[in-house]
Amino acid sequence: MRAIQDLLGRRMPRRMFLLAIVAAGLALSWAIPHGNWVNKYIQMILVFIGINIILASSLNLVNGYMGEFSVGHAGFMAVGAYMSSVLTLKVFHLTGPSALFPVAILAGGLAAGLCGLLVAFPSFRTRGDYLAIVTLAFLMIVKSVIENIPYLEGASGLVGMKRLTTLPWVYFWMVLTLWTLRNFIYSTYGRGILAIREDELAADIMGVDTRRVKVLVFVVSSFFAGVAGGLYAHYLQFISPRSFDILKSTDIILMVYLGGIASLGGSILGATLYQVLMEVLRPGTFNQAFSWLPDPAFQWLSDRVFSHLDVWRMMILPLLLILVMLFRPRGIMGLRELPIFVPLRDIQERRKPGRGGEP
């Protein structure tokens, strides 16, 4: 069945379209901070959303697509953060924007990827629950190692990195992450990942090299966690072992399951929802939003309700997740994907006999 001519005819316009969107996004990510189109506070939110997307989508690869239960993602983030920071601070001695910044970030990612290799091997023999422990142990070990190395300033934290992370850089790495993950997932390797989730034994017997696939998944996933860590470090300009503890890992897990497992769109959704809710649910925002109310009413609301938000907002996210789990156990977009990520070949599949019409 040689539908290649046909596909190519459709593929080129689609590729052009995607390229145009990506380029527009890049231009936008440069223009916004340059021209201060939105205030600094919102720019910060955008940066964190971007970093979260990298974290959530990379974790989704392991937890969502492959169906494992890893709680060590913050550990890989830490490796990347420290590696890149040490490079910019103590090796490259960067004082401002430089072409060496992406090199440092890349190095952080590679170091994290190497650690991913270490976690992959125990995954060959252990079932899901046990893997949680292995990844938790890894997290603890990373934390301990960092705390015990004077060169890394131990528990007091590493400080002094320049703010090299900018919105365009975050955008660039985010796009790279999504592109890599998408091409990985929609390939024979990727289908191997899904098969492992569905039935590992059957996958093995059907010829899937489960060991190789697991290694690839852990390495790719941790690589991008390391990248995110590096970007994070060079935005906050301060990192300590406490920034990368089990609570951080749990936050990332929350994003993944809120947005939806096995869905890149879901990770984007989860990451965005998480950050937005965290920021929006503050007294300041509500005060501004409701400032049009007549004074006594506004004053009452502000004192009785909004001022408590800071404290109650932390409860809203887990509650939201519980609600989502009750009605959509796989997450809001679980197992479903944004059409823009799905290759033509797989969309075609849904158009075949009996389906009819546009996807």
Partner 1 sequence: MSGRLEARGVTHMFGGLRAVDDWSIVLEPGELVGLIGPNGAGKSTVFNLITGVYRATRGSIRFDGVELVGRRSNRIAACGIARTFQGIRLFKDLTVLDNVRVAHYVKMRYSLMEALFRTGRYHGAEDRVVGHSRELLEAFGLAEYAAERASSLPYGQQRRLEIARALATEPRLLLLDEPAAGMNPNEVGRMMEFISWVRREYRLTVLLIEHQMRLVMGICERIQVLDFGATIAQGTPDEIRNNQRVLEAYLGPAEEGE
Partner 2 sequence: MIDLRYVLQQALNALQLGSIYALIALGYTMVYGVLTMINFAHGDVFMVGAFLFFTASVLLHLPFVPALLFAMIGTAMLGAAIERIAYKPLRSAPRVSAIITALAVGIFLESAILAVNPYPRSIPQLLPDTTWSFGGVSFSLLQVLVISLSLGLMVVLDIVVYHTRVGMAMRAISWDRTIVPLMGVPVNLIITFTFALGAGLAGAAGSMYALAYPVIDPYMGVMVGWKAFIAAVVGGIGNIRGAMIGAFLLGGVEILVAAFLPSTYRDFVAFSLLLALLVLRPHGILGKARPQKV
Q: Tokens 């059907």 appear where?
A: 206
Residue 180 dihedral angles phi and psi, to the nearest 5°:
-60, -50
Point out which span in 39-47, 215-223, 315-323, 351-359 binds partner 2 (CB under 8 A). Answer: 315-323
Does residue 69 belong to the site contacting partner 2 (CB under 8 A)?
A: yes
Q: How far apart are CA 7 and CA 282, in angstroms?
A: 49
Instruction: Tell me the closest approach of the beta carbon of residue 296 to partner 2, in angstroms.
Output: 27
H/E element, 86 = helix 73-86
The count of residues interacting with partner 1 (CB under 8 A) is 37
Residue 242 makes contact with partner 1 by CB under 8 A: no
Write the interaction track for partner 2 spanning residues 253-272; mark x where CB under 8 A is met and - where it is not: xx--x---x-----------
Residue 334 backbone dihedrals phi, psi, to 5 degrees: -55, 130
Q: Are 18 and 340 in contact (CB under 8 A)?
A: yes
Closest to 198 in 3D by CA, of 218, 213, 180, 176: 213
CA distance 275 to 282: 12
Cβ distance 76 to 247 under 8 Å? no
With CB cut-offs between 5 and 8 Å by kind, which of partner 1, partner 2, none does residue 317 bind? partner 2
Exposed / middle / buried, residue 109 (Cβ in 10 Å: 0-12, 13-18, 19+):
buried
CB 110 within 8 A of CB 223: yes
> What three-state secondary structure class fits 159?
strand
304 binds partner 2 (CB under 8 A): no
194 binds partner 1 (CB under 8 A): yes
Query: Please, which of residues 6-65 interact with partner 2 by CB under 8 A?
Result: none
| The only residue of 11, 14, 191, 330 in contact with partner 2, by rule CB under 8 A | 330
Cβ contact 72:249 at 8 Å: yes
**In the set 19, 27, 159, 199, which binds partner 1 (CB under 8 A)?**
199
Residue 13 binding: pick among partner 2, partner 1, none (C-beta 5-8 Å cut-off by kind): none
Which residues in this chain contact partner 1 in the complex, by CB under 8 A? 1-4, 7, 180, 183-184, 187-189, 191-192, 194-195, 198-199, 201-211, 216, 335, 345, 349-350, 352-355
Which residues in this chain contact partner 2 in the complex, by CB under 8 A? 67, 69, 122, 125-126, 128-130, 132-134, 136-137, 140-141, 143-145, 147-148, 154-155, 201, 246-247, 250, 253-254, 257, 261, 308, 311-312, 314-315, 317-319, 321-322, 325-326, 329-330
